Amino acid sequence: MSLLAELLGSRVVQLVVIGAALLGAISGVLGSFAVLRQQSLLGDTLSHAALPGVCLGFLIAGDRHLGLLLAGALVTGGLAAGTVLVITRCTRLKTDAALGIALSVYFAIGTVLLTVIQSRGDAGAAGLSTFLFGQAAAITRGDIQLMAVAGVLIAAVVLLLWKEFKLVTFDPESARAAGLPVMALQSALTLIVAVAVVVGLQLVGVILMVAMLIAPAAAARQWVGSLAGMVVLAGCLGALAGGSGALISATGRGLATGPVVVLLISAIVLVSLALAPGRGVIWRWRARRRLSRTLTRESRSSADLRRRHVPVRGLKR
Amino acid sequence: MGANLEQVTTHEPGLALHVEDLTVTYGQAPVLWDIDVDVPPGVMAAVIGPNGAGKSTLLKSVLGLLRPVAGHVRFFGRPVKEMRRQIAYAPQRHSVDWDFPTTAVDVVEMGLYGEIGWFRRPGRDHRARAMAALNEVEMADLAHRQISELSGGQQQRVFIARSLVQDAPLMILDEPTAGVDITTEGIILDLLKRLRDRGKTLIVVHHDLTNVEAHFDWLIMVNVQVVAQGPLKSVFTEDNLRATYGRRLTP
């Protein structure tokens, strides 16, 4: 307990914990929409595409000016999303192929830029590679403020456009038939995912960021039956995993925060997939066994009619 | 086609749906080729044709969900953009993921989102209307069931209730009876007939040739082109069916 108190007393640890929790909450909320739109990989593409943006930002600024780096990340992320859209619209390739192409091309560009910058041996250039896996300890008070502002903005947009986002996520075709600007709404969703990705770059890096989007949503879906419930729970699980992952990584020397957070949220996913009532694998297996035992007993007692009263809810067809 | 339909002008306010020279292609292949369709108000029209004949494409392109290569569509004489609120559309059941976390009544309520407008939340009266619509498709007792736990026929009825709740004069339904049992099909078709008797116009993609005659009163026979259209009694002939379905005629 004293270790915990000691840790939380440290300024750096406080910042990292708050930052990771904020990021977990934001990405949990947005990831819910991405997962339900069956676009989980979009986050992956956006985050990998952020790397060339970060490098370009560095080349323009000449040093590690965070604002410019993140602006660059947002721009190339948006370009990648546009690339995916153009590929799916103009060719016969499906979304998954387009996402894969955009991801690898932009990441390759980013890697080339990164090596070019590093070979020039600029001061501060070494710090750029931390964007690959994130470096939580480098987080500053200003970064937290930036994250908080982004979080509030994203929450406001999601609340204001709640029912439109919901309809576009569930049934885009009907949304269009009802006269909603589906393209604009989908672009807005993609854009705020890109913002979340950019916010998370420093903490978890471009490679693992996708887990922060998908995992809380996948876990939350197991426990709840409404979009609102899923979004709130995913935000909470993301914040929980982010905060406690940051704390755990602070206890060990050299434990990288991003990967620990990702492992933690993955553990939550695993438990949810196995145990959640109604949807969990083990839960359904046990329900099936219970049912088959009851049925065997009842058919022996020849009360076949009572069979109808055995609860089968939650057993999938 | 009756003589009265030949005198059609570009804006035809007397017709629920008026389509002129509509051509839709996927890539190079034409899906619909130079189609003219007219549906008068107050009928229950079946769109029939073999698989791949362009039935769903016809619905989607008149609704502006697909961009046609050429053509011209009017609802009650006006372009679809101005008529969104007057048209209720139910896409095929398989066009959405039924594992979405929500309940039956919530899906029905989504039919009202267009009417509710930007930034507003659905209120108690919207919920009441959604319940009433579910009641009409005999699904009231399953209102709060997760949609993933509904059977195919029940999901189909949820979609119909969602288009019903909009109380639009024109309803366009894509295969509302696909993959449902005979009882459910009866419930659905009877409901549609009641709606027509209340003065609504229905355009329904239908696949079961055995009961077209019993339920519909207008027919549009499609196979890339419109083979025949008009009052069911005069159009539903063996010659037309053979022309629509080719040799694979199995009524």
How large is the ipTM?
0.90
Residues A253-289 have pLDDT tens digits of: 778 888 999 999 999 999 999 988 888 889 889 888 8
Residues A34-75 have pLDDT tens digits of: 999 988 889 899 999 999 999 999 888 877 777 888 899 999
In sequence order, what are the beta bridge partners of B35? B22
**Cβ contact B144:B130 at 8 Å:** no
Whether the per-residue pLDDT at A303 is higher than 90: the answer is: no
Distance CA B233, CA B70 (A): 31
Which residues of chain B fall short of a pLDDT of 50? 1-9, 249-251
For B215, the enclosing helix (H) or strand (E) is: helix B212-215
Span A67-89, average pLDDT: 91
Neighboring chain B residues of A35 at a CB cutoff of 8 Å? none
Sequence-distant (6+) residues with CB within 8 A of B186 are: none
Give the A:B interface size as CB pairs under 8 Å: 78
Distance CA A149, CA A25 (A): 13
Instruction: State both tokens at A197.
Output: 């990705």
pLDDT the model gives residue A60: 87
Residue in B95, B102, B103 nearest the CB of A173: B95
Taking the CB of residue B215, how many other CB atoms lie within 10 A of it?
21
Residues A197-217 have pLDDT tens digits of: 888 888 888 889 999 999 999
Runs of H (alpha helix) within chain A: 2-9, 11-36, 40-61, 66-90, 95-120, 130-133, 141-160, 162-170, 172-177, 182-223, 227-251, 257-275, 281-300
Residue in A160, A227, A316 nearest the CB of B102: A227
Q: Are the Cβ atoms of A177 and B95 closer than 8 angstroms?
A: no
Distance CA B45, CA B31 (A): 21
Residues A147-176 have pLDDT tens digits of: 999 999 999 999 999 999 999 999 999 999
Q: Which residue of B has its CA nearest to A92?
A: B27
Residues B13-60 have pLDDT tens digits of: 889 999 999 999 987 888 999 999 999 999 999 999 998 899 999 999
Question: How does A200-232 read in b/e, with b if 16+ C-beta sit within 10 Å?
Answer: bbbbbbbbbbbbbbbbbbbbbbbbbbebebbbb
Residue in B96, B149, B151 nearest the CB of A171: B96
Distance CA B170, CA B44 (A): 10
Going across the sheet that includes B44-48, the strands are B87-90, B170-174, B201-205, B44-48, B218-223, B225-231
